[in-house]
């Protein structure tokens, strides 16, 4: 399956050689407002550069703790770090599939009901233990029905619960069980390539959030070969965690920018809201298509220009993958930006609404209280939810 996007020539001329990490820019248009002193820290985590700026309250020690927290979060949620809890879970699931395939010489995709003896379960665990990396310390058990259960941290349980919530709300168009497919795609290498069609087809058999159960810090997959990818929701979840910590430490005004996921605490000063610029698709990071004035809100976008590559025949592939096909979503959109109180909601909704397309996505947002959105279609037109206009910033 190939997906072609025909972008206007004037957009193509604005393409930059580097891949854009974030799709929002903080545009603090101060105008005649009084300048405000600030404390800033930055770092690299979650495969992106992040910046946290405090305008009122807090100390440098508070910001240093935020950096430590980001490192801690990465060791729980990262899909690629070998030391992370999530990586270890996915690794064992992949090993489980390999062991069972070799032992039973099965050709199906393990979607049928299975039944193991107690001895078979013990044998499978023994083989997994021999093959897993020494860094892998996650505890698990295999049941006779073929399911596998992991003991997970309270932090991972909270984010997986949120991910399953949005998987259900979007009817599977946003699916945290996409990992078997998303692990085949790599948009970070110098010369990305399209995965083998047969590998994608095989991986799709293991993508189904409904085959994941969560209860009392126990994460259960119904079959071997599954996995979880929290990339579509982790930064929003972490931003909310950082905001809660900063507010607890007395911060009254701040901006948390996790590689494009922007979350504000209060206003820049008592009389000036934060003005956040929404990036022009396929343009340089300092070029905005619009700006919003916000007080304590989150601004999150999903778009085809965040991480993408083009093949020699001109086909464009981007990182927002369709769990039903294994390839990039192909619709009328370039980007979706969500305004919400919680950044994790902005993350889940931006991806979900992008997957839905403009018409269905707008109808979906218009039925949610306290959330607004703007959809940018491939003809560069902007389509707003019913209450979005009150946030639009018009520079005097």
Both tokens assigned to 214: 């969560």
Can you give the pLDDT at residue 396? 60
Geometric angle at alpha carbon 195, from 7 and 229, rounded to 5° = 90
> Which strand (E) or helix (H) includes residue 61?
helix 60-77
Question: Which residue matches tokens 């505890």?
Answer: 139
pLDDT in tens, the chain (396 residues): 333 333 333 333 333 333 333 344 444 443 344 445 799 999 998 888 899 999 999 899 999 999 999 999 999 999 999 999 999 999 999 999 999 888 765 444 444 557 888 999 999 999 999 999 999 999 999 999 999 999 999 999 999 999 999 999 999 999 999 999 999 999 988 999 999 999 999 999 999 999 999 999 999 999 999 999 999 999 999 999 999 999 999 999 999 999 879 999 999 998 899 999 887 766 665 677 889 999 999 999 888 877 889 998 888 999 999 999 999 999 999 999 999 999 999 999 999 999 999 999 999 999 999 999 999 999 989 999 999 999 998 766
Taking the C-alpha atoms of residue 160 and residue 179, their distance in angstroms, rounded to an integer, is 13
Geometric angle at alpha carbon 325, from 320 and 327, rounded to 5° = 40
Q: Are 6 and 31 in contact (CB under 8 A)?
A: no
Taking the C-alpha atoms of residue 174 and residue 349, their distance in angstroms, rounded to an integer, is 9
Can you give the pLDDT at residue 285? 58
Of 393, 138, 152, 371, nearest in space to 291 by CA: 393
Both tokens assigned to 44: 């690299």
Residues in the chain: 396
Can you give the pLDDT at residue 1? 39
**Beta-ladder partners of 372:** 339
Can you give the pLDDT at residue 25? 46
């Amino acid at each position: 399956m190939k997906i072609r996007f025909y972008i206007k020539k004037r957009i193509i001329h604005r393409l930059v050689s580097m891949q854009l990490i974030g799709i929002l820019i903080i545009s603090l248009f101060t105008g005649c407002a009084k300048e405000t002193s600030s404390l800033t820290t930055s770092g690299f985590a979650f495969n992106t550069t992040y910046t946290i700026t405090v305008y009122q309250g807090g100390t440098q020690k508070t910001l240093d703790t935020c950096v430590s927290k980001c490192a801690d979060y990465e060791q729980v949620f990262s899909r690629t770090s070998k030391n992370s809890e999530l990586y270890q879970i996915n690794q064992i699931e992949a090993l489980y599939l390999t062991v069972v395939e070799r032992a039973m010489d099965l050709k199906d995709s393990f979607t049928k009901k299975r039944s193991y003896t107690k001895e078979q379960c013990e044998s499978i665990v023994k083989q997994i233990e021999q093959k897993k990396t020494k860094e892998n310390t996650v505890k698990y058990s295999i049941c006779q029905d073929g399911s596998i259960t992991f003991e997970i941290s309270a932090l991972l349980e909270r984010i997986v619960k949120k991910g399953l919530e949005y998987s259900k709300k979007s009817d599977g168009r946003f699916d945290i069980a996409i990992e078997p497919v998303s692990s085949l795609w790599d948009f970070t290498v110098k010369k990305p390539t399209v995965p083998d069609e047969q590998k994608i087809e095989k991986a799709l058999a293991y993508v189904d959030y409904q085959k994941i159960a969560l209860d009392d810090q126990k994460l259960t997959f119904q079959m071997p070969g599954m996995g979880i990818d929290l990339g579509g929701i982790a930064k929003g979840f972490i931003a909310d965690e950082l905001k809660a910590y900063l507010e607890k430490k007395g911060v009254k005004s701040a901006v948390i920018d996790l590689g494009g996921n922007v979350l504000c605490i209060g206003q820049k000063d008592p009389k000036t809201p934060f003005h956040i610029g929404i990036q022009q698709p396929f343009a340089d990071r300092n070029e905005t298509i619009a700006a919003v004035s916000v007080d304590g809100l989150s601004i999150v976008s999903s778009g085809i220009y965040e991480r993408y590559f083009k093949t020699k025949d001109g086909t464009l592939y981007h990182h927002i993958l369709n769990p039903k096909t294994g390839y990039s979503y192909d619709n009328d959109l370039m980007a979706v930006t969500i305004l919400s109180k919680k950044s994790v909601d902005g993350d889940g909704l931006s991806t979900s609404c992008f997957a839905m397309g403009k018409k269905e996505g707008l109808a979906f947002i218009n039925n949610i209280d306290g959330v607004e959105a703007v959809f940018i279609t491939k003809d560069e037109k902007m389509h707003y939810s019913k209450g979005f206009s009150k946030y639009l910033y018009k520079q005097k």
